[in-house]
Amino acid sequence: MDMIALRSDLYKALERSAQQEARTVNDIVNEAVEHYLREQQWAKLNREILAYETLHPELKQKYLGQWIAIHDQELIDYDSDRIALYRRIRSKYGRTAVLLRQVREQPHEEIWLHTPSTGKAVL
């Protein structure tokens, strides 16, 4: 495994934070890297959504009602069966963010989330 070298000023700052929080430097670094990678996946997903919206007129003509997969701003696969498409994409791309969306008349979807803590619907 490759080693990662932090600048000494960063390491010292992390040591101070770790001591104040009764944690280890490794815990803080792992948490920070995990956060960074999660943010990168969300940014990628947002780019895929923009690509979907740009491609929507063409997708609507060819794939209306189908489930499509967009990766690196390109259509990479489609299927009428969402689960089959999901399995193929997971098999090929692992945990990489790939947009899976059903092509509908309008490119924008309303998304409703029900929060488990309050039971309220959020738009």
Q: Provide the whole-model pTM.
A: 0.75
Model confidence band, residue 118 (pLDDT cutoffs 50, 70, 90): low
CA distances from 58 to 55, 61, 86, 105 (A): 6, 5, 22, 11
pLDDT given for residue 23 in this prediction: 95
Integer Rg of the chain from CA: 20
pLDDT given for residue 107 in this prediction: 86
Q: Where are the domains of the chain?
A: 8-122
**52-90 residue pLDDT tens:** 999 999 999 999 999 999 999 999 999 999 999 999 999
The residue that leads in pLDDT, 113 or 58, is 58
